[in-house]
Structure 1
Amino acid sequence: MTRAFDAIIIGAGQAGPSLAGRLAAAGQQVAIVERHLFGGTCVNTGCKPTKTLVASAYAAHLARRGAEYGVMIDAPVRIDMAKVRARADKVIMDSRNGVEGWLRNMTNCTVFDGHARFESANTVRVGDELLTASKIFINVGGRPVIPDFPGVDEVPYLTNSGMLKLDRVPKHLVVVGGSYIGLEFAQMFRRFGAEVTVVEKGLRLVSREDPDISDMIREILESEGIHIRTSAECITFKSHPDGVSVGVDCTEGAPEIVGSDVLLAVGRRPNTDDLGLDTAGVAVDARGYIQVDDGLASSVPGIFAMGDCNGRGAFTHTAYNDFEIIAANLLGGAARKVSDRIPGYALFIDPPLGRVGMTVTQAKATGRKLLIGERPMTHVGRAVEKGEIFGKMQVVVDAETRKILGAAILGTGGDEAIHGILDIMNVDADYTELQWAVPVHPTVSELIPTLLNEMK
């Protein structure tokens, strides 16, 4: 028996439930299919739990620094990792249950538990059920890449999911991968008390950033005792009595690192390989990402892809924006496009990096005449008052159009302060609109007008 719906949504991550809510409120009959955990990556293995752990690690770090602030803690700081994990688990469960409960009680929405596979361009099988709809939305997210390093299949390793299940502090954590996920876990577990080594194949950490920002990030991590090994061209693994031996062909340093635990954080891949996309005729690229146009439509009329699986953004906020674009276009008669999205993101080490738009390197490559402003966090009153002076503020502007091309704020509050610039870029306003703003003192954001006035 085939059950007919107006829309089928595959996956209950960041975009799927919100779209279900909008379609159902418009009177459409919606089927939403989830094979595992409601809430997707963000709720279960990404933003929610990791930022909870980051907060616990920050509390430990600040406690150790108490004497700098005149706060005397006589006993050594002790980490109860079981309680740290329990706190993160509660955040996960509260969020997951909230999403699931919302969907199961939603009028005009039917929840199906199971794995969805296409049987045609408008039909999906979930177990013994056949579902059909004129519009199908894919929101299946992604999972960690397991690199084909020699010996990787012969040793135990952790991914971001496994790290969240630890109720102990590793003796020596070796993090393979020097970008967002790897660096956040590296710093938090160092603050929990582990020895930590980061191994990165590239010449520097977070290679998409400008070299000066990358160097500052390295300085921040090394100041806390994290070992950094870059240019690791040949990474190998083998068992060792003390855990895992990680071979690194680096330009300097010992050729082998022995860790009690290894975290693989070298990227993610889309969960599109077992959906029957070929049966439906949906085109994917060489890495498995569903190919979509500017309105997030796939190669098959009526099938759309949202979130990590479409390769057009790897963040919770871009997945949610995918939902906003589709809902506005289908229900509101708009013509919103992915290409209009201003890319912004953050690296949640401490202090965090807030980034929007182009790097200075990217801006220079365009050949434009530029204005560039920079200010070290040592010259930001709020950072000095908090005793958190690592990093800097940076902005790059097109000198002729007077439009901001990009900015980075690496420093305390950088993940929040960056939104002042992001908002100006979103409304396509001249940078001069910010020059005469009167921001609140004392904040990091108050230095943005100063930064713009000092460009050269």
Structure 2
Amino acid sequence: MTKHFDAIIIGAGQAGPSLAGRLTAAGKTVALIERKHFGGTCVNTGCMPTKAMVASAYAAHLARRGADYGVTTGPITIDFTRVMARKDTVRFTSRGNIENWLKGMENCTVFEGHARFESPHEIRVGAALLSADQIFLNVGGRAATPDFPGVAEVPYLTNVSIMDLDTLPRHLIVVGGSYIGLEFAQMFRRFGSEVTVIEKGPRLIGREDADVSDAILAILEKEGIQFRLNAECIRFARSGDDVVAGVDCTAGAPEIVGSHLLLATGRRPNTDDLDLGRSGVKTDARGYVEVDETLKTNVPHIFAMGDCNGRGAFTHTAYNDFEIIAANLLDGEARKVSDRISTYGLFIDPPLGRAGMTETEARKSGRKLLIGTRPMTRVGRAVEKGETEGFMKVIVDADSKEILGASILGTSGDEAVQSILDVMYAGKPYTTITHAVHIHPTVSELIPTVFGDLHPAT
């Protein structure tokens, strides 16, 4: 017998539970299906547990620098078991809170199991057959494993399995010099592991401007992380209990021997085992669900939110997907994906906060630009904290005075960039910030200064 609901939500990541809350509050009956862990990537293997580990790594780093602040400390040691236990407390508590919220939600029925389409309106979960007027996909993504020569013959970690390590790696080899790889590289280096990062490209985080990439490379090299860039032919083999990574680079030894291997080479959507063919929903060549500006698929009653739609790869974009759908369906609004401004962070120490265009993107737009920069050595708050690495950069349209983008690499950069983002959303000129009075002493107080020192792009 088929059980009918007003809506079925597949996945309890960042968008699904909140949408269930809005729909049930509006009087609709909802079936929410989760096959593994409530909370999705962010809660279980992404933002929350990794940032808990980053916090532990920062504490170790600061303790080692105690003498710089006139604080005498003894030898600093890492209790890796306690680091991982703290991380687990953070993620398990959050996971439990989401699960309890959903299971106690009026008009929401939770099904635990693997969802598969039977037809455009029907979903099977185990022995249960469910139908709904509307279906919302929030199935997320998982680590992508490239077909490197020898990868099937060696043990390797992903961003998921590394969360369950019980011993500290002697030498961690990280393949992938982008956001996930660099965060793990720095934290494990601070925990005491030897770390080597292998990147196929000529520089780290290739989507960022070269000056940002170069500054991050210098910061991480200063901490003792080794880098192998331009690694065109990556291959793997075993050597006893160790992993041997072969690289063809312009410089350096042809092989790296490590105790552990982390593959941080991108992600793929969890859409390949939903039997989407029975729903009629289209996906692109990479498996992402194709959606329009309102996150509707080609099947009008089916929507896709979060990582699986290819329209954003962050917790905040997934949550914004929920907001767009809820506003359009329940509030009579007309919100769309293109309304949002690209923004994200790289959570190494110091962090990178990004909003809008990079300088490279702005130059390609053909606009007449004004650019302002300021090193963190000239930010009083950074000097007081003894954390002066990095810089600020802002980009403005010279004709309209519109803020096009900002990069803040430095202490509290991930927080400070938000004030720029708010002015961008308000559609106000950059002079709104130059006329503002910010609190002293903070990192944010230098943002009006950097906007007040704009120069034409050459």
TM-score, normalised via structure 1 length: 0.99
- Whole-angstrom CA distance in 1 between matches of 2:274 and 2:427: 40
Q: Which SS does the other structure have where 2:419 is aligned?
A: helix
The residue number in structure 2 matching 1:340 is: 339
CA distance in 2, matches of 1:254, 1:280: 51
- How far apart in 1 are the matches of 2:160 and 2:112? 21
Query: Where does 1:162-173 land on structure 2 (aligned, <5 Å)?
Result: 162-173=161-172
1:24 maps to amino acid: T
Secondary structure at 2:328 match in 1: helix
Question: What is the deviation of 1:169?
Answer: 1.3
Secondary structure of residue in 2 paired with 1:269 = strand
CA distance in 2, matches of 1:442, 1:110: 50
Secondary structure of residue in 1 paired with 2:415: helix
Tell me which amino acid in the other structure corresponds to 2:51: K
Is the aligned partner of 1:123 residue 2:122? yes
For residue 242 of structure 1, report the CA deviation from its aligned partner.
4.9
Give the 5 Å matches for 1:346-385: 346-385=345-384
1:242–1:259 CA contact under 8 A, matched in 2: no
Any gaps of 5 or more consecutive residues in structure 1? none
Question: What residue number does 2:204 align with?
Answer: 205
**1:24 equivalenced with 2:18 (yes/no):** no
| Cα distance, 1:290 vs structure 2 | 0.1
Separation in 2, partners of 1:228, 1:116 = 42
Aligned to 2:266: 267
Contact 1:31–1:111 (CA under 8 A) maintained in structure 2: yes
Whole-angstrom CA distance in 2 between matches of 1:428 and 1:265 = 37
Q: Does 1:71 align with 2:71?
A: yes
Which residue type is aligned with residue 273 of structure 2? D
Q: Residue 44 of structure 2 aligns to which amino acid in structure 1?
A: N
Aligned to 1:96: 95
Amino acid at match of 1:65: R
Q: In structure 2, how many angstroms separate the alpha carbons of the residues matched to 1:186 and 1:370?
A: 35
Q: In the alignment, is the contact (CA less than 8 A) between 1:48 and 1:92 conserved in 2? A: yes
Q: CA deviation at 1:167?
A: 2.3
Give the letter aligned to residue 192 of structure 2: G
Q: RMSD of the TM alignment (CA)?
A: 0.6
Point out 4+ residue stretches in structure 1 off by more than 6 angstroms. Answer: none
Structure 2 counterparts to residues 366-445 of structure 1, below 5 A: 366-445=365-444
SS at match of 2:207: coil
Structure 2 match to 1:292: 291
Matched letter for residue 410 of structure 2: G
Cα deviation per residue 1:402-421 (whole Å; 9 max; x = unaligned)?
A: 10000000000000000010
CA distance in 2, matches of 1:175, 1:272: 27
Tell me the distance in 2 between the aligned counterparts of 1:119 and 1:260: 45
CA offset digits 1:4-52 (Å, max 9, x no partner): 0000000000000000000000000000000000000000000000000
What letter matches 1:212 in structure 2? D
The Cα offsets for residues 161-212 of structure 1, whole Å up to 9 and x where unpaired, read as 1111112211100000001110000000000000000000011001000000
| Contact preservation (8 Å) 1:242, 1:258 | no
For each residue in 1:145-167, what CA deviation from the matched residue of structure 2 results, as whole angstroms up to 9, or x when unmatched?
01100000000000011111112
CA distance in 1 between partners of 2:402 and 2:60 (Å): 41
Identity %: 68
> 5+ unaligned residues in a row in structure 2: which ranges?
none
Superposition deviation, residue 427 in structure 1: 1.1
Counterpart of 1:173, as a letter, is L
Q: Secondary structure at the match of 1:6?
A: strand
In 2, distance between residues paired with 1:107 and 1:161? 32
Partners of 2:368 and 2:432 in 1: CA distance: 20
Deviation at 1:373, TM superposition (A): 0.2
| Cα distance in structure 2, aligned partners of 1:184 and 1:284 | 31
**Aligned mates of 1:284, 1:170 — CA distance in 2:** 39
TM-score of the superposed pair, with normalisation by structure 2: 0.99
Residue 367 of structure 1: how far off its partner (Å): 1.0
How far apart are the structure 2 equivalents of 1:158 and 1:243?
13
Q: 1:50 is aligned with what amino acid?
A: T
d(CA) in 2 for partners of 1:132, 1:138: 14
CA distance in structure 2 between the aligned counterparts of 1:225 and 1:292, rounded to whole angstroms: 44
What's 1:49 paired with? Answer: 49
Counterpart in 1 of 2:12? 12
Deviation at 1:232, TM superposition (A): 0.4
> What does residue 195 of structure 2 align with?
196
Whole-angstrom CA distance in 2 between matches of 1:255 and 1:417: 42
Distance 2:112 2:211 in 1: 48
List per-residue Cα deviations over 1:307-340 (Å, max 9, x = no partner).
Answer: 0000000000000000000000000111101011
Q: Distance in 2 between matches of 1:92 and 1:120?
A: 35
Deviations 1:371-404 (A, max 9, x none): 0000000111111111111100000000111100
Q: What secondary structure does 2:421 align onto? A: helix
Contact 1:235 1:247 in 2 (8 A): yes
SS at match of 1:164: helix
Q: Which residue of 2 aligns with 1:220?
A: 219
Q: d(CA) in 1 for partners of 2:95 and 2:186?
A: 26
| Contact 1:371-1:455 within 8 A present in 2 as well | yes
CA distance in 2, matches of 1:22, 1:427: 26
Q: What letter matches 1:4 in structure 2?
A: H
**Secondary structure, counterpart of 1:5 in structure 2:** strand
Secondary structure, counterpart of 2:418 in structure 1: helix
* Cα distance, 1:241 vs structure 2: 2.4
Distance 1:284 1:242 in 2: 41
Shift of 1:136: 0.1
SS at 2:298 equivalent:
coil
- Read off the aligned partner of 1:271 and give its amino acid letter: N
